[in-house]
Amino acid sequence: MRDMKDAPTFDPSVMRPDILGAEFLGEGTNFALFSDHATRVELCLFDDSGQNELHRLDLPEMEGGIWFGYLPGIAPGQVYGYRVHGPHAPEQGHRFNHNKLLLDPYARELRGQIRWNDALHGYEVGQDDLSFDTRDSAPFMPKAVVVDTKFDWDTDRAIRKPWQNSVVYEAHVKGLTQLHPDVPEADRGTFQGLACDAMIEHLHRIGVTAVELLPIHAFANDRFLVERGLSNYWGYSTLSFFAPHAPYLKSGQIREVKEAIRRLHKAGIEVILDVVYNHTAEGNELGQTMSFRGIDNASYYLLAPDNPRHGFDTTGTGNTLNVAHPMVLRMVMDSLRYWVEAMHVDGFRFDLASTLGRETQGFERDGSFFNAIRQDPVLSGVKLIAEPWDIGEGGYQVGGYRWPFREWNDKFRDDTRAFWRRDPGLVPAMSERLSGSPVQFNHSHRPATSSVNFVAAHDGFTLWDTVSFNDKHNEANGEDNRDGHDHNLSDNMGAEGPTDDSGIVTARVRRVRAMLATVALSQGVPMILAGDEFGNSQDGNNNAYCQDNEIAWLDWSSARKDLIDAFAALTAFRQEVSLSQSRFGAAPADASERQAAIEWLHPRGGAMEEGDWQDGELRCFGLRQVLPNGADVLIVVNAGEDAEFALPEGEWHLRIDTSADEVAQDSPAQGVVPVPWQAVLALTR
């Protein structure tokens, strides 16, 4: 029950509309919420449990659609939410319902979890979305918490490692550590476990310079998954863009995230967040009213222009965040700056980034969001990675972004998998990928580090499953194996799934090593999926988004030391010779002092000729690079049977042979060298 007897009183002399969210100002807290179409906003204060509503107060002022007020004596730890009044007119895009408790979009810490109940809907479930539900949703909603942002960062500073020296490791906070025997059991699955000694030692061993974490923003475990006994493991269903996901916090407090980042920084490891600003957890018009929909549906979401009752969905999730709206754009920018300035993260990977560039005429590489990022003095200096597609018309935009964005390059993934699968006619495509995909990225003054090169990521087969399964096996997802894509470019090499056949296992190891080498030795930025460095499998599940269990958690007990050693040797060689360059290479006659001089070589000796590029059966060729530092590096790839390769004149030193038990080599070679089947060689002169 609400007790209004001792309700706090707003102080009009201190209240500010310019700082959104709940900001503790030393002796009280300023509350501010944007809703352009609201007629009234109530601030609801709860007890520490978040279950009992104590006070309900109208925010006293509104300017420019921002409702605000300052409450003396309200300190960090205060639990709160909002009820927003306004027109219930779904046909016009307005879905206000003051019976629904709403989460502050700027909430920095949450108390409690979603308890799925029909009262969370703004309409009466069982009727259409034009109806109006009068039940109170507060008992079923998580609440926001006022936080104290003070933290002793000591001497922590951004690392700002150059892109050409970066090796990215895509990982899940929980899945990475949940089964690791050397992570303290109480710390597994949390930020404390992420930054423990065992994890840092492993990252150092394999040459990783940055961890790219799957979504850590607070997210919803979708109702349809919970009712099937599953959960939203990946986290691409954002509930709050400022608060971390509470189950990842052993302590329950946001300072744990800061402590983990500080510890990783001291180890020289950057932290990149996978962020989902293209949609939220509220779904389409039949979804829940938990935050944005009830605050101002017509402002926060992109609506169908001919029928604003419905959302304009370019994400496949039911809604699209309207980042073209200046106040929604501000929220996204405020969120990004918060994670950089207050939490010290080093960069972001933007999920379905093409959605963020959608303007009235479709995708715009110079859209409001991208231009805002490029001019921002804080954000333009951190690492920015685009997933350069969405499911809307014209959404596939690989190579279509401007500096300083880098891009996930699925062309690298697909061509590399197909080449090593021994598909015909792929030498021209592989030459593109080895040299940084210049057709896609060598324009608009973009550097040769624009392509983020990978052969496996969270969405799809793991690298080991790519050589172990011809078909997806997603039965555990409960969708009769219909979910997940079928374009896997995989090859089980003779047996579907695990096998005791030593010949098949040897062939799988060779191909995995060759693909890891292709990632590590190509121009661009190498990224590997956590576990690919030791042969982790998901039993053929290529869509483990709902598998918060042994299917998706990394199985450290089955880690292959030989693969770990191989990848460690590859990243060490890459750094030693400064293989990655910021400028695209050129033919020797055209290369400048700041460019690598590159040559494409045929196994018979000499340069590749026009007819060689058209030879669909050719599967062995070489890339020679004379780097600006004077290093002379030859990369030879052979996806076919055993072959021989005629070296250019001079004494070469074999440094990498992925077919060998000991990957790191240093033996002299002249004339003709053997190139084993399914192998990559790296030589220097």
Annotated catalytic sites, by residue?
A: 351, 387
Complete DSSP assignment for 644-679: EEEPPSS-EEEEEETTSSS-EEEEEE-SEEEE-TTE
Angle at 278 between CA 329 and CA 87, to 5 degrees: 65
Residue 64: CB atoms within 10 Å:
8
**Rounded Cα gap, residues 131 and 122, in angstroms:** 8
Name the CA radius of gyration of the chain, rounded: 27
The tokens for 235 are: 């986290």
Nearest CA among 393, 371, 367, 400 for reference residue 312: 393
Cα dihedral across residues 340, 269, 446, 398: positive or negative: negative
Nearest CA among 151, 105, 341 for reference residue 256: 151
Evaluate whether 190 touches 178 at the Cβ level (below 8 Å). no
Nearest CA among 451, 326, 445, 466 for reference residue 398: 451
Nearest CA among 516, 491, 613, 648 for reference residue 569: 516
**Rounded Cα gap, residues 515 and 239, in angstroms:** 37
SS3 for 246-274 is HHHCCCCCCHHHHHHHHHHHHCCCEEEEE
**Rounded Cα gap, residues 479 and 404, in angstroms:** 40
**Rounded Cα gap, residues 80 and 138, in angstroms:** 11
Q: Which residue has the tokens 């070489």?
A: 622
Q: Please tell me whether residue 106 adopts helix, strand or coil conformation.
A: coil
The tokens for 425 are: 């006619």
Q: Which helix (H) or strand (E) holds 474?
A: none
DSSP classification of residue 618: -
| Largest separation between any pair of C-alpha atoms in the chain | 92
What backbone phi and psi angles, to 5 degrees, belong to 341?
Answer: -80, -40
The Cβ-side half-sphere exposure at 385, using a 13 Å CA radius, reads 30
Question: Which residues lie below 8 Å from residue 233, measured CB to CB, with a gap of 6+?
Answer: 172, 174, 175, 544, 545, 546, 547, 548, 552
Evaluate whether 452 touches 413 at the Cβ level (below 8 Å). no
